[in-house]
Structure 1
Amino acid sequence: MTGPVDVDLPDGFQVQIDPRCARKGDLHHLVGGSPTRVMRLSDAALGMTSADGRIAVHDASTRVLARTLLDSGIGLPRPMQGPSTDEVTVVIPVRGNQSGVDALLTALRGLRVIVVDDGSPEPIRADGEGVRLIRFDENRGPAAARNAGVAAAETDFVAFLDSDTLPVSDWLTMLLAHFSDPKIAIVAPRVIGRRIRGRGATVAKYANAHSSLDMGPNEAPVVPGSPKPYVPSAAMVVRRSAFLGFDESLRVAEDVDLCWRTHEAGWRVYYDPVAQVRHDHRESLRRLLDRHRYYGTGAAHLASRHGPTAAPVMSSLTMFAGVVALLTRTRIGLLVAAVIGLRAVYKTRGLLTGVPGRDVIAARAVGRGFGFGLLQAAQALLRHYWPVTLVVAVVWPSFRRLVWQLALAEGVVSWFRSEVLESRVTRVGPVGFVLMRRLDDLAYGTGLWQGALSHASLGALRPKLTV
């Protein structure tokens, strides 16, 4: 499978400049994207742009400008129309969840649907107009089930929905619009928890509101190593002509692998949280932690296929040194971090020549870099490397104090960002959140080490530090 050939955006397609990239509304100088870059719009480009930063494609020049903004991550797609729902087949892989299939088929009435029974002990029933059932005699895994569904589909687009999901109204129409961009191969909605009646237990509320399937409230292109490195296959729509197929040898992380291979082939993957699908995350603490342990084992598979793209820590060598210096909590460490920070501000400032307010922009960028680095370090110590962290903490009292402080600080910061800033309806209290997050880390880290040992490779644990 090759990459996209026809990359022209159609007339009427619109691109919105991300307001976060235009400081004080200055559209001439744009700073943002992932990785962060500086873009200067010419007077001619500004003439194609509305006062609120929107470009409507109608000729060759606007087509080039819109594509450049999209590829940089500074522009957000605002397609006006896309394929109809008649051009989509929904594929539901399932093993032993008849009630989930029944509820989902009711929600999907009027659409083409293929249910793939992946060796359920009690055969799945799937009745209804436009519904087709494929049954495997033995369990072959979700990757094989999804691939079989795509092979049986006759439409240009295929939507994957797990049997424990329920889409929110108009989800499919919202996602299909993105395929008016011929470079788009995969689009995914936000996967949120189902509503919990009453107060609910802490475990249920945490699983519902902080699932690893929920990629957050911000739309973004999906790029390895970025804040949106993949989207889950529990809910996604693919262009059949760009579909590379799930790796059937994988029972976990097959969706991450697909996203990364699709990106490497030159196609675009996009995450649009305006479209939403609800997922039933409620389960016991034991099942929740065991599932996250299982997810952790997938890191070794990804490392063997994608190398440093699957690294648990990604940082420049200088920023890594600055973060380590801060974590020493010594005067010398603080001095070293200050020197590294000032040097980074100076270099960043040089890249912003001609940009108004470049001193403030540079200082904020470096500050965010240190903040992200500290959070990444805390998560690495508490999640990916916790067995090593535990051993060192036992024999080194000052390091033990640091670990306790990081465990509390990272948990509180994450709680504030997710529970307060997002104004969630189903609130998890700070104490319950921090406790569940630390248990979550232990479970995932256990799976990660389990996968590394079974593969006899530390690739999934090796950090990626660039010069």
Structure 2
Amino acid sequence: MSSYTQARRGTVPPRPSDAPLPTGFSLVLDRHTVVMDGGRVLLGGAPVTRLLRLTPRARTLLSGRTLQVHDAAGAVLADRLLELGLAHPVARELPLPAEHEVTYVIPVRDRPRQLDRLLGSIAPGSDVIVVDDASVEPEAVAEVAARHGARLVLLPGNLGPAGARNAGLAKVRTPLVVFVDSDIVLDEDTVPTLLRHFADPRVGLAAPRITGLHSRESAGWLGRYEQTRSSLDLGAHPALVRPGSFVSWASTACVVGRVEALGDGFDERMRVGEDVDLGWRTIARGWRMRYEPSVAAAHEHRTEFVDWFRRKAEYGTGAQPLSERHPQSVAPAVFAPWSAATVLALLAQRRWSVPVAATISGVTAVRIARKLGEIEQPLRTGARLTAHGAVGSLAQTGALLTRHWWPVTAAACLVSRRARRAAAVAAVADVVLEHRRGPVDLDPIRYTAARRLDDLAYGAGVWWSALRGRSLAPLLPRIQSPSATRRKPSSSSSVRSAESSCSHSS
């Protein structure tokens, strides 16, 4: 166990400051946020869709879809929009926080070539700590660290990524820390841009987009698949990281953290999923975690098939430990009662399936319209929210059939024609939807093969972890009414809040 964990054992991590957002803080409405009724109403947010009614004073603070903090009222409104996921900071326009000194912590085991490449991408003169996690050839690591002027911490035994990061964190004396893995290459503006997010006193973690490092090895079919659909690449849109939201976790392959927000650091008992656990624990204490895709960190993806397949399965084995620590956040799918009923009706594949599903959706649209209150075209808005929820539910169901539940799906396909149809539709729809996300530099046949192998490996890891932990929790979807996750509306005089009954996890 690292000295950092020993020193901090039993301490209560602080909660975020109540300090207001600073003057000059800029944000823009999320792409899914809908401005309605001539700017009097905002509809959107994550993980639960909310209807936000703006007072006349609040409406004057918004300029189109942007807001810049100039006074206390603007700070209150901006904070509310950020907390609900209705808006995101414009990172490059944010002021630097007063305390922006940072230390880089790099866990490494061997890999001197990759370490040299990473250190070469960090600005000269930076405070860097390299933690050697019991390398087989520590001399090579020490030589690279010395050449770049980095401090070296030698661990007597292999602790894994969590323990190595904690050992480095124990040496940090700056208010901010950058955790970055040795197989990463940083763009020059990645860390400076992420630091600006900490102008928000409630931000505890900020992560960039993890892209693929272009190399000779990445030119193969697996490398090209990873370039566009890596498990670590969370997409091109900024997000408030929160369980059940559009971006529910972010990797610590590269992440900037506020040291005081990190508590005991990483859970050293976890060899997989420790980054997800750290993020969720930090969020649970009231801190925000930002995903900032305008800057990137290039990751050297695995491209040899056996190594690639094994790593995908390892990702899946983190499901059971995470389910023990975060039982409300690890379900492979979350359905509202109405969307679960809709999906079950369609899976039945009977003559009555479509009419029943349509009836359920219609009733739900009317109920949502009534809850929305006095807005323009409430029924149309309710129908749109219901349609989005239904599509999301079907997408989650497809992922269950082809990824998390594939052993059950395969067994059912042996005896049921309906199961074969459902599996075929899910597999084809998945590939079509993935191609719609953006260009894929791989032909459909090899892309489909890679996609299904990805699911096969990850699902096998989930099942292995569930069997080893003697629990089905990582495999069971959750039925949850959106009202169960509602938060108390703001008491600010600038904004009044009302929540709809449609969840993003529906």
- Taking structure 2 as the reference length, what is the TM-score of the superposition? 0.87
Aligned 1:263-274 pairs, distance under 5 A: 263-274=283-294
Q: Equivalent residue for 1:286?
A: 306
Q: Which amino acid aligns with 1:156?
A: P
Q: Distance in 1 between matches of 2:78 and 2:98?
A: 24
Among candidates 383, 398, 401, match of residue 378 of structure 1: 398
Residue-by-residue CA offset, 1:439-466 (whole Å, 9 max, x unaligned): 1111001000100111111111121112
Measured against aligned partners, the alpha-carbon deviations of 1:134-165 in whole angstroms (never above 9, x if no partner) come to 11122110001111111111111000111011
Q: Is the 8 A contact 2:349 2:418 kept in 1?
A: no
2:453 aligned partner: 439
Measure the CA separation in 2 of the matches of 1:281 and 1:68: 38
Q: Conserved in 2, the CA contact under 8 Å of 1:19 and 1:25?
A: no
Q: Percent identity?
A: 38
Separation in 2, partners of 1:92, 1:390: 42
| 2:58 maps to 1:45 | yes
Structure 2 partner of 1:250: 270
Using a 3 Å threshold, how does the CA distance of structure 1 residues 260 and 82 change in structure 2: closer, same or farther?
A: same
Amino acid at match of 1:10: P
Look up the match of 2:493: none
Displacement of 1:415 in angstroms is 2.2
Higher relative contact order (CA 8 A, sep 6+): 2
Q: Is the aligned partner of 1:22 residue 2:41? A: no
Residue 62 of structure 1 aligns to which amino acid in structure 2? G
Query: What residue is the counterpart of 1:462 in the other structure?
Result: 476
Query: How has the CA–CA distance of structure 1 residues 31 and 401 changed in structure 2, closer, same or farther, with 3 Å as cutoff?
Result: same
Distance 1:85 1:167, change over 3 A: farther
Tell me the residue number matched to 2:88.
76
> Unaligned 5+ residue runs, structure 2?
1-12, 482-506
Q: Secondary structure at the match of 2:59?
A: helix
Work out the CA distance in 2 between the residues paired with 1:270 and 1:86. Answer: 17
Relative to 1, partners in 2 of residues 1:416 and 1:53: Cα closer, same or farther, differing over 3 Å? Answer: closer
Matches within 5 A, 1:119-268: 119-123=134-138, 124-125=141-142, 126-128=145-147, 130-196=149-215, 200-244=219-263, 245-268=265-288
Q: Judging changes above 3 Å, is the alpha-carbon distance between structure 1 residues 295 and 454 closer, same or farther for their aligned structure 2 residues?
A: same
Structure-1 separation of matches of 2:56 and 2:205: 34
Q: Do structure 1's residue 114 and structure 2's residue 129 form an aligned pair?
A: yes
Instruction: Tell me, in whole angstroms, the C-alpha distance in 2 between the residues paired with 1:27 and 1:375.
Output: 32
- Rounded to whole Å, the distance in 1 between the matches of 2:240 and 2:443 is 32
Residue identity matched to 1:119: A
The residue aligned with 1:3 is: 15
State the number of aligned residues.
460
TM-score by length of 1: 0.94
The superposition leaves residues 204-238 of structure 1 with CA deviations (integer Å, 9 ceiling, x where unpaired) of: 11122211111111101000111211110101000
Gapped runs of 5+ residues in structure 1?
none
Aligned mates of 1:55, 1:137 — CA distance in 2: 52
Shift of 1:386: 1.0
2:110 counterpart residue number: 96
For the residue of structure 2 that corresponds to 1:146, the secondary structure is: helix
Compare 159-168 and 363-372 and name the one that shifted more. 363-372
Q: Give, in angstroms, the shift of residue 133 of structure 1.
A: 0.7
User: Partners of 2:32 and 2:336 in 1: how far apart?
Assistant: 24
How far the C-alpha of 1:196 sits from its partner, in A, is 4.6
* Contact 1:415 1:434 survives alignment (8 Å): no
Distance 1:252 1:199, change over 3 A: closer
SS for the counterpart of 1:308 is coil
**Letter matched to residue 29 of structure 1:** V
| Equivalent residues of 1:175, 1:237 under 8 A apart | yes
Contact 1:208 1:282 in 2 (8 A): no
Correspondence 1:314 to 2:349? no
Give the SS at the match of 1:407: helix
Residue 435 and residue 129 in structure 1: after superposition, are their counterparts in 2 closer, same or farther (change >3 A)?
A: closer
Query: 2:373 corresponds to which residue?
Result: 353
Mapped partners of 2:84, 2:98: distance in 1: 28
Aligned to 1:335: 355
RMSD: 1.9
Shift of 1:241: 1.0
User: Which string of whole-angstrom CA distances, capped at 9 and with x for unpartnered residues, describes residues 400-439 of structure 1?
Assistant: 23212221222222222243xxxx6xx1222222111111
Q: Distance in 2 between matches of 1:401 and 1:69?
A: 43
Find out whether 1:32 has 2:32 as its counterpart.
no
- 8 Å CA contact 1:313–1:376 kept in 2: the answer is yes
2:318 is equivalent to residue 298 of structure 1 = yes
Select between 23-32 and 212-221 the one with higher mean Cα deviation.
Answer: 23-32
